[in-house]
Structure 1
Amino acid sequence: MMNLKIAAVSVNQTPLDWKGNLERIVKGINEAKSADADFICFPELSICGYGSEDLFLSHWYPARSLSQLKELLPHTQGITLAVGLPVRIEKEVYNTVAIIEDGSLKGFVPKQFMAIDGVHYEFRWFTPWPHGKLIELDFFGEKIPFGDQIFNLKGVKYGFEICEDAWRKEKRPGYRLQDRKVDLIFNPSASHFAMGKTEERIDLMKESSKLFDCFYVYVNLLGNESGRMIFDGERILAHKGKILGRAPLLSFKDVVVSYFELSPEKQNPSAVIPKEKEFVQAAALALFDYMRKSRSKGFVLSLSGGADSSTCAVLVSEMVKRGIAELGKEEFLNKAGLKGDFSTEKEIVHELLITAYQGTKNSSEDTFLSAKELAESIGAKFYHWEIDDEVNSYRSKIEKAIGRELTWEQDDITLQNIQARARSPIIWMLSNLNNALLMATSNRSEGDVGYTTMDGDTSGSISPIAAVSKDFIINWLKWAEKNLNQSGLARVNALQPSAELRPLETTQTDEKDLMPYPVLLEIEKLAIRDQKSPLDVYLILKEELTLDSQTLKGYIKKFYQLWARNQWKRERLAPSFHLDEFNVDPKTWYRFPILSAGYSEELKELENFN
């Protein structure tokens, strides 16, 4: 029996918050000591934050991280721990784990494989360490082993795979650790959240512990660390293909600790939750961290009564509800920077969320009531006004300048866009007045095809749902009405999604302008996620969808043409959270040229295919 008690500690860190980051690590150490833990594993790059980006390329930033490690040593008496930081050796920077035992630094283990897909660009900053290589590093006058090595604590031999190391199948370091007969492998990670990803991790932990015949401990970072990526704080213990322990995800706390004993008889795995619940948990935490780390006083939202803006409103409501449930009201208010006497959740939402319905003559009574009832149901401040005067002012100036009247027959896009843009300046005023974050409401499907008005509905400080599809949003709202007790969504869910920018008698709908959202989603997954050509998409979908060939070809052609011509819009969208398996933010997941030939030859091949 291996008599080790392990503390797996997830921390919510922030780049350049040296004092706060160190305090959170020390808090985790002290909590683990109080519980008589033998070993503490912190996540990857937890000293400085994984999201430090090009700060890693400097000389001073890795050096400062080493200084922080030195400051940490006095707090580690009587315990062994692993903590992540960058280390520069001459021209190269390495992503490492430092192992400390009883106040003394025992060694560094650098990452051997870099994550370079999707949201990750690690090769920009870090150099992979070759397996088998071991050198000495000068640490403030002391020579410390640096490289591929294993350690021993109370007769338990242990080693490390750092995040991406474990995902490299036959090349991963675990095989060489197995050859060295380790009993225990730690995986300190900075693994981004995505709906459904935790199931992949669980399978990997099962597979790893079985493959290497050992105990396997996984520890992830927590929270919205630096703006876009969310970390879920996953903590897992696996042994010989079984999950012995697993922690709940997406905590609002800054430091969360799970204790694992290396005993196959003690099993306490938590259940996997549905994607709908994952989405609200992750988005609520991300909004809370974004708000407090940006030192903002809340959110402002142009609430149209439609699906997208209603989703944003509900997410703020859930942020308050979930934060209070976990932290308690006093700590939630303190972290949110709120002062005052609030007796209910609705009163707090009222303080943190300001909404406004900005109608025109093309807006319907249905959407006004939808917005009003939702705002009232969650407690948000609700204003409403008409913007026809502003629209008419812009319109008359242009008509005078060009010497003719604008008409819907000739100037459709222009007349639609000016309404969306006229809403932007006044809602920004509310944001400025309240030092609050303006929420942009575009979803991923709109981002795909540019079905959004630049400097209109794209205006904002943060775009919370830009990484999820409209199809998901529509279905999630129905789920939320029932499962989150959000009764104010009843009217929202009864409406057909519409921009309401054309005259009401045209019965404008989003799907009439574009295509059915489920079809758009299937094309998007194949074209963007799987990077298929237009013809490949057609050949796949003609077997899966009950659409005639010409209609399907038309939808595919529209998607690719709109995708190619609207990259400039995606470059300018407000920062968004990575929430799904993929997104279209060029800073986060998918890069595409702003200027291109727009798949002209590929679409001609599609048209000519029989």
Structure 2
Amino acid sequence: MGRKVTVATCSLNQWSLDFEGNYERILKSIEIAKTHQAKYRLGPELEICGYGCADHFYESDTLLHSFQVLRKLLESPVTQDIICDVGMPIMHQNVRYNCRVLFLNRKILLIRPKMLMANQGIYRELRWFSPWNLQRNVEEYFLPRIIQEVTGQDTVPFGDCVLSTKDTCIGTEICAELWNPRSPHVNMGLDGVEIFTNSSASHHELRKANQRVDLIKSATTKSGGIYLYANQRGCDGDRVYYDGCAMVAINGDVVARGAQFSLGDVEVVTATVDLEDVRSFRGELCQPLLESEHKPCRRVRVDFSLSACDDVYLPTHQPIIWNFHTPEEEISLGPACWLWDYLRRSGQTGFLLPLSGGVDSSSTACIVHSMCVLLCQAVKDSNTQVLSDIRRVVGDDSYCPQEARELCGRIFTTCYMASENSSSETQNRAKDLACQIGSTHLNINIDMAVKGILGIFTMVTGMCPRFRVNGGSHRENLALQNIQARVRMVLAYLFAQLSLWASGRPGGLLVLGSANVDESLTGYFTKYDCSSADINPIGGISKTDLKSFLLYCTERFQLTALTRILASPPTAELEPLTDGQVSQTDEADMGMTYSELSMIGRLRKISKCGPFSMFCKLIHIWKDLLSPMEVAQKVKHFFRMYSVNRHKMTTVTPSYHAEGYSPDDNRFDHRPFLYNTLWTWQFRCIDNQVSQMAKSTLKQ
């Protein structure tokens, strides 16, 4: 009857400016799609050059090399007899657009530019691209000579148009257009488009995946249709991890899906769906657009069918249930995959982590262990790419990891950096965890280095600073803490560069940081201490989520050493011990709990609150815990700390982006770093409000 169609979508681990690798992965996905008899293949957003090129989009080289890759795809016999939908930047009439290029049998069918741009959060698309604002308008695009020589075409349609085959009609959305309240699929569906495609570069954030799935299901529930979703996967060179989830949905049901987290570079999802199911669904629900000003979709016709003439015996895919990962599983998987991409593409041979025995550094260690578990499972599943990358990283062409602890010992070094202010308890906790995960563990005493530096200061000034408990001032106390923290950073890099050399092994190690998002909010860390690392897998994750993650790891990986770590109060151990016990705790130093910090961070960034509006919200949220006066004190204290320490965020270690309230100055949180720390006007408003509330209470 010619009504059943087999379509393919995919998740590709593309890398910005890796034109050779990107081309090979695209070609591989098309080849896999054809082996499943698919007649349409959809890929991720800007897959030819990589989504994260950023200011490289300004360079003419990026446009040139994208067209060179497109030419190779057009010429390849692999791309014949299947409609290929690829993403790349294109300049039309001296304006740069984010485009989809659809081609078949060495002919370009149409070019569809993105109409609604992502320009919030981590996204800055309007910096590099212009939106196509001419709805339902199509112009002629003059192809560059290198493409004309292959296609024999001078011009092709460019603009807001859809593809009409002999048996159906296909319309395009690009990433953010699905999330927009004026999504193009609405009018396209009412105008008879039956298959919608969405090529995305959608990043992972904790608790976000269900939003994406709900949007796609909703898009086809309202007016019927088939929806293909493709997404980037992996770390393409920046702080985010793109988390796959390629899928096919029909009439509100997901019928095929890919993995959210995976070490595979190419994953193709295919589904066979019945066009008559769409038509039956719409026959009852949909009416044609009748507005006088409505312009129908411009259809580009192609003499090609997605369906076969005799398909009565071809089975169709049935609805499936999507089981979402818990936040703890997401922390275990997302940052682990991100770390592996970074390690294998950086040319280094492993990681080094200063392991303090606290929640934060232990979380980073568990993520590396989770990465090793994923790698070993991929090898068992015959992933030859992963095995090849492991052998290249460890420098052994015959190596085949058997279990995670063994691999951890080859690529992961942990070190406990003790001082006279360190407790034996934290040292033992770090040692026990390192033993259980299998890392190569070092015990390093930093006292000699600290005393040497202080000796230089005393020799020059004749002064010897003292801790507060020994009669020193606040300034002396802080300086003595900071010198310990900064010595640890220097030693971490020294051992990262030379520890393998000292044992006769080649290569160097990447230094991992372990400052959580809440500490970054207040600046509760020393600038250029061991939070200054190469990369930080937990820099976008809250302390509350990290504790839950460690509970999960205790059961998932049988890491019993985590039990004692979770039971101990967080401490920097930079001040002298009292009777051999830790007297300094993080929450006491910060003046608020980590859960309070998480709430404040969400209000500051996600809810866009300044001091006064934050106070007005918190007096209701915390009404059962704190008085208005106490809430006011918390808010003032936070904003003082935030403004005093804001400069630290300009140098923060590149961190995995996992939360919408990340204070990362470099890509996400664009705010000043020099403030009037008195916040005179704002705090006066808070004080006035507290006074009014007190008077109102007295009258009652």
Number of matched pairs: 609
Report whether the alignment pairs 1:161 with 2:173. yes
Does structure 1 retain, via aligned residues, the 8 Å contact 2:138–2:160? yes
Post-superposition Cα deviations, 1:436-485, rounded to whole Å, max 9, x if no partner, equal 11011111111111111111122211111111112221222122212343
SS class of match (2:217): helix
Corresponding residue to 2:107 among 104, 107, 115: 104
Distance in 1 (CA, whole Å) between partners of 2:680 and 2:202 is: 38
Does structure 2 retain, via aligned residues, the 8 Å contact 1:137–1:146? yes
Gaps of 5+ in 1: none
SS class of match (2:98): strand
Q: Which residue of 2 aligns with 1:605?
A: 685
* Match runs of 1:146-185 below 5 Å: 146-169=158-181, 171-185=182-196
Q: Which residue of 2 aligns with 1:335?
A: 389
Report the residue type matching 1:570 in the other structure: M
Distance in 1 (CA, whole Å) between partners of 2:103 and 2:4 is: 19
Q: Which residue of 1 aligns with 2:141?
A: 137
Report whether the alignment pairs 1:271 with 2:326. no
Does structure 2 retain, via aligned residues, the 8 Å contact 1:63–1:88? no
Does structure 1 retain, via aligned residues, the 8 Å contact 2:169–2:192? yes
Report whether the alignment pairs 1:513 with 2:582. no
Report whether the alignment pairs 1:281 with 2:333. yes
Corresponding residue to 2:571 among 464, 483, 498: 498
Q: Which residue of 2 aligns with 1:254?
A: 265
Shift of 1:23: 0.5
Deviates more, 1:444-453 or 1:401-410: 401-410
Deviates more, 1:147-156 or 1:220-229: 147-156
Does structure 2 retain, via aligned residues, the 8 Å contact 1:253–1:327? no
Post-superposition Cα deviations, 1:294-313, rounded to whole Å, max 9, x if no partner, equal 11111011111111111111
Q: Which residue of 2 aligns with 1:446?
A: 519
Distance in 1 (CA, whole Å) between partners of 2:557 and 2:632 is: 39
Report whether the alignment pairs 1:4 with 2:8. no
Post-superposition Cα deviations, 1:1-52, rounded to whole Å, max 9, x if no partner, equal 7311111111101112111110011111111111111111101101110001
Report the residue type matching 2:332 in the other structure: V
Does structure 2 retain, via aligned residues, the 8 Å contact 1:59–1:88? no
Deviates more, 1:195-204 or 1:590-599: 590-599
Distance in 1 (CA, whole Å) between partners of 2:248 and 2:644 is: 48
Q: Which residue of 2 aligns with 1:89?
A: 92
Distance in 1 (CA, whole Å) between partners of 2:183 and 2:563 is: 51
Deviates more, 1:531-540 or 1:328-337: 328-337
- In the superposition, the TM-score normalised over structure 2's length comes to 0.84
Report the residue type matching 1:536 in the other structure: S
Corresponding residue to 2:482 among 412, 417, 428: 417
Distance in 1 (CA, whole Å) between partners of 2:94 and 2:574 is: 56
Q: Which residue of 2 aligns with 1:26?
A: 27
Does structure 2 retain, via aligned residues, the 8 Å contact 1:78–1:103? no
Does structure 2 retain, via aligned residues, the 8 Å contact 1:462–1:575? yes
Q: Which residue of 2 aligns with 1:201?
A: 212
Q: Which residue of 2 aligns with 1:486?
A: 559
Report whether the alignment pairs 1:352 with 2:402. no
Q: Which residue of 1 aligns with 2:307?
A: none
Does structure 1 retain, via aligned residues, the 8 Å contact 2:39–2:83? yes
Deviates more, 1:324-333 or 1:506-515: 324-333
- In the superposition, the TM-score normalised over structure 1's length comes to 0.97
SS class of match (1:609): helix
Distance in 1 (CA, whole Å) between partners of 2:321 and 2:8 is: 16
Distance in 1 (CA, whole Å) between partners of 2:55 and 2:72 is: 24
Distance in 2 (CA, whole Å) between partners of 1:481 and 1:260 is: 39
Larger Rg: 2
Q: Which residue of 1 aligns with 2:693?
A: none
Deviates more, 1:260-269 or 1:571-580: 260-269
Does structure 1 retain, via aligned residues, the 8 Å contact 2:489–2:529? yes
Does structure 2 retain, via aligned residues, the 8 Å contact 1:245–1:270? no
Q: Which residue of 1 aligns with 2:366?
A: 314
Post-superposition Cα deviations, 1:535-560, rounded to whole Å, max 9, x if no partner, equal 22222222222123333222211211
Q: Which residue of 1 aligns with 2:670?
A: 591
Coordinate RMSD, CA, aligned: 1.7
* Match runs of 1:565-580 below 5 Å: 565-580=644-659
Q: Which residue of 2 aligns with 1:296?
A: 348
Q: Which residue of 2 aligns with 1:78?
A: 81
Post-superposition Cα deviations, 1:384-438, rounded to whole Å, max 9, x if no partner, equal 0211111112222223333322122311111111111111222111211241110
Distance in 1 (CA, whole Å) between partners of 2:656 and 2:46 is: 20
Distance in 2 (CA, whole Å) between partners of 1:6 and 1:565 is: 55
Post-superposition Cα deviations, 1:324-357, rounded to whole Å, max 9, x if no partner, equal 2134376434213232534432121111111110
Q: Which residue of 1 aligns with 2:613?
A: 536
Deviates more, 1:481-490 or 1:588-597: 481-490
Report the residue type matching 2:72 in the other structure: E
Change in 2 beyond 3 A, CA 1:271/1:99: same
Distance in 2 (CA, whole Å) between partners of 1:76 and 1:561 is: 60
Report the residue type matching 1:561 in the other structure: R
Does structure 1 retain, via aligned residues, the 8 Å contact 2:121–2:660? no
Report the residue type matching 2:96 in the other structure: V
Distance in 2 (CA, whole Å) between partners of 1:188 and 1:348 is: 36
Report the residue type matching 1:607 in the other structure: D
Does structure 2 retain, via aligned residues, the 8 Å contact 1:247–1:270? no
Shift of 1:530: 1.3
Corresponding residue to 2:450 among 386, 391, 399: 391
Corresponding residue to 1:455 among 528, 543, 568: 528
Q: Which residue of 2 aligns with 1:378?
A: 437
Does structure 2 retain, via aligned residues, the 8 Å contact 1:86–1:93? yes
Report the residue type matching 2:492 in the other structure: I
Deviates more, 1:5-14 or 1:529-538: 529-538
Distance in 2 (CA, whole Å) between partners of 1:110 and 1:260 is: 26
Q: Which residue of 1 aligns with 2:633?
A: 554
SS class of match (1:356): strand
Does structure 1 retain, via aligned residues, the 8 Å contact 2:248–2:256? yes
Does structure 2 retain, via aligned residues, the 8 Å contact 1:578–1:588? no
Report whether the alignment pairs 1:230 with 2:238. no
Shift of 1:154: 4.4
